Structure 1
């Protein structure tokens, strides 16, 4: 089968279309004929050799988000899916089978759920990993309805999902945005929008003098965002950006590591239901054939992408 991978680590140019053996569904597994795989920052880190791949041999195949059609179900798989169902899933590309940049991917049945109704494969591919990361962020902060959440990087894929999931949970949301992104961030549901930048923590605190109850640092700003958080509040940051916090103020730091949610079917299917209800917006920033995967990586690393770039197979 065709896949996109690299035989050596480096810049986007190392990505190429490769032929690899077609995988088959074993006991408890589902095989997806992949039609779309989203391009995420973690994919660029893997391509650059910044993600440990113990025991994995080249070609290294990135990709954490897959959308497509079920074309095989392994013996004993506990699933309500049938051959031909349109589905989405989060893959883990650090294993021997590689990730979602391939015509077929085989995953445990609990990692796969139906795609949101009426969506394209490209749209569905933007949801699993980023949506689960946002879901995990909110679960760790554990804010009750009516509390205030701040989100940095709100115009990005993770930030946008975090804003929308927070609003669905009844939270008040303060978010950052550049002037060109302010309308977008407001459309996602942010109640208060402040200018983005390294001192955004101070700007959030001016907007909410008592301090926010929790903060999701999608922009990877780091320790300076703690200024926005009230004593006894919480900060959630993506893996690799902490720990930091203010123990003397009782502020709790949470590391968001989305692979811990792999196989959490209930969380993944909840995202589908929210998308079905229109509470979550699926944003595709661009679509590329496999031969242009390197260009998708270049664009993502250049910054400013709103939504997700997608490779279509």
Structure 2
């Protein structure tokens, strides 16, 4: 470490394990390379991916849901691209102000309030390789963060910093799934896990496309999910086939997985599509191949965001077509408390961290 360099506060994740792996440290403020910008982080959302990476949940050795991965095992294959680059700064969601630019970047960008496209296509949009802010390189759980200038998108709106920091990961993931699945007006879309960041985003974005949205959540969150725009809400203990009928759904947008995977396929119409970018209830599922091929079902995995996704989101924000729900904010140095609250799944919407002013 260059002790003579200007320093900042950051939360450094030191390895696989519990929240004791989150260390509050002083580290050098990043210096922009020619095509980079440095952002003063204004707010940073909390996501499953940061907790999953800290737990090593992406390891093939883990077979349980995200809440049951355990904290005591070293899992060198626990990152979702390659081995996680410990120690490093996590933080996938970023709202920030451009405070320094590289020599190839227009200086007029200084002072812009931006959100960062967290999923960066390393070799262009015709290939699927990705680099993720806060997973593959240092992210937003710090006072400052370094990102490529082309991944920082100015947003002109009256939203709070915390609201803007709720957008990148959850809404980017949701919009990408709807885009890949081809959701259009009049389709019937089912959303398990509807009260979380991604689920609530899926509801809003699917309604924006003119779809009918049926949500699954806990009874205590029913009114909140209706507020997001759901046309109908089922409780987690309901039998969705009995409630909705077999072959009654066009698209299932499912980041839950687990034991109900087969039920989701039973609900799909012939030619229906199942799209997922997560598996919070468990990554190992039972698939009856006959259901899949006899019903001409398409299974769609979504991680790499397609090129239109983030510009679309910015336009939706600026036109007032979407609005996130911020559940609670925490100071950055209370990240362990914030992540513990996140894992209880008692919240609806996003939990957001605020760095020192």
Quote how far apart the aligned CAs of 1:192 are.
1.8
Report the CA distance shift for 1:56/1:70 in structure 2 as closer, same or farther (over 3 A).
same
Q: Where does 1:1-313 land on structure 2 (aligned, <5 Å)?
A: 1-50=8-57, 51-52=78-79, 54=82, 57-77=85-105, 82-91=109-118, 92-95=133-136, 97-115=137-155, 117-197=157-237, 201-203=240-242, 206-207=243-244, 210-221=247-258, 222-239=261-278, 241=283, 244=287, 246-257=292-303, 260-261=304-305, 264=307, 266-313=308-355
Report the CA distance shift for 1:196/1:276 in structure 2 as closer, same or farther (over 3 A).
farther
Aligned equivalents of 2:209 and 2:159: distance in 1? 23
What TM-score comes out, normalization by structure 1 length? 0.89
Quote how far apart the aligned CAs of 1:270 are.
1.9
Contact 1:67 1:115 in 2 (8 A): no
Q: Which segment drifts farther, 208-217 or 133-142? A: 208-217
Quote how far apart the aligned CAs of 1:69 are.
0.4
Which whole-Å deviations, capped at 9, do the CAs of 1:42-78 have from their partners, x for residues lacking one?
A: 110111233327576543321110011011222334x
1:88 counterpart SS class: strand
Quote how far apart the aligned CAs of 1:109 are.
2.1
Report the CA distance shift for 1:158/1:56 in structure 2 as closer, same or farther (over 3 A).
closer
Contact 1:5 1:16 in 2 (8 A): yes
Contact 1:275 1:281 in 2 (8 A): yes
1:107 counterpart SS class: strand
What TM-score comes out, normalization by structure 2 length? 0.78
Aligned equivalents of 2:12 and 2:248: distance in 1? 45
What is the aligned-residue RMSD (CA, Å)?
A: 2.3
Aligned equivalents of 1:284 and 1:196: distance in 2? 23
